[in-house]
Amino acid sequence: MTAAFDLIALDADDTLWHNETLYSQAQEKLAGLLAPFLDGEQVVRELFETEMGNLAYFGYGIKGFALSMIETAVKVSGGRVGGSEIQQIVDLAKEMQQAPVHLLEHVEEVIPKLAASHSLMLITKGDLFDQQAKLARSELAPYFENVKVVAEKTLEMYRMLLEGSGIEPQRFLMVGNSLRSDILPVVRLGAHAIHIPYHLTWAHEVVSVEDWEEDGYVELEHIGLLPEFIQRLEQGG
C-alpha cells in the first residue's frame, strides 16, 4: 500500500468544528436586543445586508461581524440605540471570540488517525487571530504540520500552495464543507476533493471510488468515513 496523497488539507469551520451555530446564536441575541425597534426576522435581514455591504471593508470573521451588528443596531433604531445596547454587542463579540470550540462528531478520532499516515494541513478562510485561537482551543493543532489562514480560497490560492510546496495536483486532497471554497477550485486544478456537507439533509449511503472520476469529487456523509475511504483508495479501490 502506497500513500495516494502527499498532502491532505482540511477546512476548519463547519468541517472540523461547529461555527455557523455561533453566528446564528449571536444573531438571535441581536434580534432580542433590537426587538423594541424592529421585528426579529427583519433585523436578521438587515444584518445580512449590512454584512454583505461590509465584506469589502472587513472581510470574514467575528470582529467584522460585530461591527456589522453595531451598524445594524444604529440603523434599525434610527440612531436611538443606547450605549448599553452597543456595549452588549461588543461584549457579545468578546464572548464569541472566547466561545468553546465544539468539534463535529468523529473529528476527535479521525484527525489523529489520518495524521499518523499522512501530512495534514489546515486551510481556513477568515480572521487569522480568530482561527489560530480556535485551533489552539480545539487541541487539534499538534496533528497539523501546516496551518494556512487565507482571505479567500480561490483557484489561484490553491495553485500557489501546490507550486510553492512542489506537490503534484493529483497527489493533493482537500476535504471541506463548502463546494465553492473547498471543492470546485481544487477539482478545476486537477486535484482531489471530498465534500462533507454540514447539517446534511440527505445521505449517500455508499460512495464508490468510481464516483471520484465522474464528478471530480466525492461526497461523504460525515468525516468519520474519511479514513476508510482513503484507505480503500490507497488499496486501489
Residue ranges in contact with a copy of itself by CB under 8 A: 54, 57-61, 63-64, 66-67, 70-71, 73-74, 77-84, 86-87, 90, 93-94, 97-98, 127-129, 132, 146, 149-151, 164
- At its nearest, how many Å lie between a copy of itself and the CB of residue 221? 32
CA separation, residue 93 to residues 19, 63, 66, 97, 224 (Å): 14, 7, 6, 6, 32
Residues 6+ apart with CB under 8 A from 210: 237
Instruction: State which residue, 116 or 128, has the beta carbon closest to a copy of itself.
Output: 128
Query: From CA 56, how far away is CA 33, in angstroms rounded?
Result: 27
Instruction: State which residue, 94 or 232, has the beta carbon closest to a copy of itself.
Output: 94
Residues in the chain, how many? 237
Instruction: State which residue, 57 or 202, has the beta carbon closest to a copy of itself.
Output: 57
Query: From CA 18, how far away is CA 193, in angstroms rounded?
Result: 21
Instruction: State which residue, 8 or 93, has the beta carbon closest to a copy of itself.
Output: 93
Grid cell locating 163? 507550486
Instruction: State which residue, 129 or 215, has the beta carbon closest to a copy of itself.
Output: 129
- At its nearest, how many Å lie between a copy of itself and the CB of residue 72? 10
- At its nearest, how many Å lie between a copy of itself and the CB of residue 78? 8
Grid cell locating 219? 461526497
- At its nearest, how many Å lie between a copy of itself and the CB of residue 35? 17
Residue 68's Cβ-side half-sphere holds a number of Cα atoms within 13 Å equal to 26
User: Mapping DSSP to helix (H, G, I), strand (E, B) and coil, where does residue 17 land?
Assistant: strand
- At its nearest, how many Å lie between a copy of itself and the CB of residue 166? 12
What is the CA angle 227-228-234, rounded to 5?
90
Residue type, 83: G
- At its nearest, how many Å lie between a copy of itself and the CB of residue 95? 9
Residue among 5, 1, 9 nearest 145 (CA)? 9
Instruction: State which residue, 76 or 187, has the beta carbon closest to a copy of itself.
Output: 76
